[in-house]
Amino acid sequence: MDYAQTVQWLFAQLPMFQRIGAAAFKKDLTNTLKLTALMGEPQRHFKSVHIAGTNGKGTTAHTLAAIFTTAGYKTGLYISPHYKDFRERIKIDGQYISEAEVIDFVAKYQEDFIAIEPSFFEMTVAMAFDHFARHQVDIAIIETGMGGRFDSTNVIIPELSIITNIGYDHTQFLGDTLPLIAFEKAGIIKPGVPAVIGETHLETQAVFTEAAVERQCPITFADHSYQVVRIDSEIGSMTVDVLKDGKTYIQKLVTDLYGNYQLKNLATVFGAVEQLQLQGYKIDEVILRKGLANVQQISSFMGRCQVLRRKPLVLVDSGHNEAGFKEIFSQIKELNFPKVHVVIGTVNDKDLTKMLPLLPKDATYYFCRPDLPRGRSAEELRGAAVAYDLNGDSYPSVQAAYKAALAAANQDEMVFVGGSVFVVAEVI
């Protein structure tokens, strides 16, 4: 098989949560353990940082990867899902795993996959671990998929565990209260391994503290020590001051991360960097400034508050739950464009009653369905939106909706594309 055929085989043969939903979700690490045993336990041959959370884990992962690469460490990065190319999930120093390596890996283990019947995610995690071990990375930044406790990545013993925040998402799998969701995410906290929690929440703080006490590991809450304050911004970048324990830590730091929600993610990153510095990793202010100024270029980061064009402004963001919508549409309101055109689609397991009330009523909407089995129909989404006074037309595809929005927008107006990773993937 060539590369395209190999990837198609993976998608077709193995259940993939992103495409089909609940049927692919497993609360069990058995298959991952079988695969890693088959491959000689590759996860034991590299150091790692493990990241869970409802929102912000992708940004945190890419940012840490950019910092480590800048510091001269050979840095692996495993993330999910991907936008355009399967290989986005597995990178070393921002470079995708090669097509040849994907082909060779599947060819080598195809019969074992058929026998073990792992999920798409389990197989991809095994591929990433094998890749990082073979290439002898100095450290790998590993992002969980959905939860934590039973996530396929949770067979590693990292140098540091990070939980960015807790919000409502995937409640049918992780629980319908914040403490229950926090309990699942806290499953990545390991005995004796330091843990950093990005955002403190009264409902979840005790869950993390109890997990740390039980597992006898140090725990810190990044927002107790670090505050990142935006002092200037233009669309596509920000200048910030970083405070530590109320005192100036770094002044006028420029980053290509954009969006007010990135201030919280940056506080998490600084909390994590402090713990890693204590372990002997050589990361100084010069490295932080260089890494944070070039996160997108160094780590091949995309899809979060990303600017695709300027006139009209086209902004895409893959936030896809209540907390994500709250942050991005707050940002859009602050930009104060005379008119906003919103191209929006979702998958069918998202709670629209929590998301739709957050959308601006004075925008024009272009409802569409992302091209995957889990995609919610454009007509269903439009019907639900009408109840919240959100008006617009439905379109047969993301591209049709996007082209209509571009045609309607004046040069001084804004087109926003979002609602799902898969909607964003079809326009970037």
Domains of the chain: 3-299 (3.40.1190.10), 306-425 (3.90.190.20)
259/257 Cα distance (integer angstroms): 7
Q: What angle do CA 414, 420, 426 make, to 5 degrees?
A: 70
Query: What's the token pair of residue 10?
Result: 């993976």
pLDDT band at 11, cuts 50/70/90? Answer: confident
In sequence order, what are the residues at sequence separation of 6 or more whose Cβ sits closer than 8 angstroms to the Cβ of residue 339? 363, 364, 409, 410, 413, 414
Q: Is the pTM of this model over 0.85?
A: yes
- Cβ–Cβ under 8 Å, residues 11 and 123: no
**Structure confidence at residue 320 as a pLDDT band (50, 70, 90):** confident
Average pLDDT score over residue span 259-269: 95
Least confident of 47-51, 284-288, 369-373: 369-373
User: Which residue in 331, 189, 195, 337 sits closest to 268, CA to CA?
Assistant: 195
Q: How confident is the model at residue 174 (pLDDT cuts 50, 70, 90)?
A: low
Pair of tokens at residue 370: 């992302």
- Res. 170 pLDDT band, cuts 50 70 90: low
Question: Is the separation of the CB atoms in 301 and 269 below 8 Å?
Answer: no
Q: What's the pLDDT score for residue 24?
A: 47
pLDDT confidence bin for 324, thresholds 50/70/90: confident
pLDDT at 17: 47
Model confidence at 167, in pLDDT bands (50, 70, 90)?
A: confident
Q: Cα–Cα distance between 428 and 258 in angstroms, integer? A: 17
Q: How confident is the model at residue 148 (pLDDT cuts 50, 70, 90)?
A: confident
191: pLDDT confidence band, cut at 50, 70 and 90?
A: very high
Return the pLDDT at 168.
Answer: 72
Beta-carbon contacts of 398 under 8 Å, excluding residues fewer than 6 positions away, are 343, 345, 368, 369, 370, 371, 423, 426, 427
Going from the C-alpha of 124 to that of each of 24, 133, 170, 246, 355, the distances in angstroms are 13, 14, 21, 42, 30
* Separation CA 167–CA 173 (nearest Å): 13
Q: What's the whole-number mean pLDDT along residues 371-386?
A: 94
Q: For residue 273, which amino acid is it?
A: V
Q: What percent of the chain has pLDDT over 90?
A: 82
Give per-residue pLDDT as tens, 328-356: 999 999 999 999 999 999 998 888 999 99
What pLDDT, on a 0 to 100 scale, did the predictor assign at position 379?
97
Assess whether pLDDT exceeds 90 at residue 109. Answer: yes
With a CB cutoff of 8 Å and minimum separation 6, the contacts of 15 are 23, 24, 119, 120
